[in-house]
Amino acid sequence: MTTLLEVDRISVRYGNLVALRDVSLTVAEGEVVCIIGPNGAGKSTTLAAIAGGVTPFSGDIRLQGESILGRQPEQIARLGLSLVPEGRHVFGTLTVEENLKIGGFVQGDRSTARADLDRMFTLFPRLAERRTMPAGRLSGGEQQMLVVARAVMTRPRLLLVDEPSLGLAPRIVDQIYEMLLDLRQRANLTLLINEQSSNRILKHADRIYVLRGARIQLEGTAAELQDGEAIRSAYFGFEDGATAKAEIPA
Ligand SMILES: Nc1ncnc2c1ncn2[C@@H]1O[C@H](COP(=O)(O)OP(=O)(O)O)[C@@H](O)[C@H]1O
Ligand SMILES: [Mg+2]
């Protein structure tokens, strides 16, 4: 498989706080890769660094072999990368359609935006049914779909999604992942996703990185990490042989 994204030993600081230390990861074309880690691990900072929102003080980030370090977020977006930030922010009083248009507006061209809007309603039939509804009246799962659809309006090839499962019921989490995996097929997307929990993610991701305390602690394929024990140790930082009673949030 061709490598699409290479994060190569990046370190990021906010003032005196080192939020990422020598973080490396790769994402191949067509993969679904998940970064799992507790609150404060550095997950959002990792996605922000890739999308150009923060600049690492060391290391490099390459998209299709070309360094994107230090470029503006808009420049990086134009290379085919789109970020869905955490928090499912929608414009609550605007309709579903208007929310999507805001995503397409970034491109500027009106006829393209129209075609992209139609494409979104084909890709997301649930949103098509609710196109004239104020986004604030959608369920949490539907709002997550909407923010993903808005990010896909610009036809990215790499989509970064920050904690899509947060606060959603397990059944809805599965629906969100079904949607994301379906998008991978139908919109040729590659996905890098942040999550705090691991149990459902193991079902859906190809590969997983565990991030804790600003560092990558563990990486492996979902098959390799299937029993969850190694993930739990890396997530909580247990020493070898420690009895791990703590549970990663569902
Ligand atoms: N804008 C910021 N300014 C200062 N510290 C920040 C900022 N954003 C995040 N941090 C800190 O950096 C660390 C990593 O945060 P973050 O990347 O948001 O972790 P996660 O997404 O895994 O919860 C945390 O200690 C957090 O408090
Ligand atoms: Mg975060």
| Ligand closest in space to the Cα of 53 | 1
- pLDDT at residue 243 is higher than 60: no
Query: What are the structure tokens assigned to 39, written together?
Result: 């609150």
Q: What percent of the chain has pLDDT over 90?
A: 80
CA gyration radius, the chain: 18
For ligand 1, atom 14, name the residue with the nearest CA.
42
46 Cα distance to chain centroid: 10
Contact partners, residue 60, CB within 8 Å, separation at least 6: 6, 8, 9, 10, 67, 69
Residue 12, H or E segment = strand 3-14
Kindly report the protein residue whose alpha carbon is nearest to atom 24 of ligand 1.
Answer: 40
Q: What angle do CA 35, 125, 201 make, to 5 degrees?
A: 20
Burial of 110 (0-12, 13-18, 19+ CB in 10 A): exposed
Q: Which atom of ligand 1 is nearest to the CA of 38?
A: 22
pLDDT in tens, 176-221: 999 999 999 999 999 999 999 877 888 899 999 999 999 999 999 9
Q: Which pair of tokens denotes residue 111?
A: 């006829």
| Each residue's pLDDT tens digit, 51-82 | 999 999 999 999 999 999 999 999 999 999 99
Model pLDDT for residues 156-180, shown as the tens digit of each residue: 999 999 999 999 999 999 999 999 9
Where is average pLDDT lowest: 1-5, 103-107, 126-130, 165-169?
Answer: 103-107
Q: What does the pLDDT look like over 117-145, one tens digit per residue? A: 899 999 999 999 999 999 999 999 999 99
Q: Which residues line ligand 1 (CB under 6 A)?
A: 14, 17, 19, 37, 39-45
Reply yes or no on whether the pLDDT at 247 is more than 80: no
- Going by CA atoms, what residue is nearest to atom 26 of ligand 1? 40
Instruction: Report which secondary-structure segment, H or E, holds 186.
Output: helix 170-186
Domains and CATH numbers, the chain: 3-86+157-236 (3.40.50.300)
Centre of ligand 2 from the C-alpha of residue 36, in Å:
10
CA dist 192 and 214 (Å) reads 18
The protein residue whose alpha carbon is closest to atom 11 in ligand 1 is 19
Distance 150 CA to ligand 1 centre (A): 25
Cα 42 to ligand 1 centre (Å): 6
Q: What is the pLDDT of residue 114?
A: 81
- Ligand closest to 41 (CA) is 1
Say how many Å lie between the CA of residue 214 and the centre of ligand 1: 10
pLDDT of res. 228: 87
Q: Residue 132 Cα, ligand 2 centroid: separation in angstroms? A: 31
Nearest-angstrom CA–CA distance, 112 and 137: 28
- Listed in order, strand segments (DSSP E) in 47-206 are 58-63, 66-67, 81-84, 158-162, 190-195
Distance 61 CA to ligand 2 centre (A): 20
Nearest ligand (C-alpha, residue 213): 1
What's the confidence (pLDDT) of residue 106? 54
Closest CA to 159 of 49, 54, 80, 53: 80
Mean of all residue pLDDT scores within the chain = 92
The ligand whose atoms approach the alpha carbon of 18 most closely is: 1
Distance, CA of 40 to CA of 52 (rounded, Å): 20
* Residues contacting residue 193 through CB under 8 Å, at least 6 positions apart: 32, 33, 34, 35, 160, 161, 162, 164, 180, 201, 205
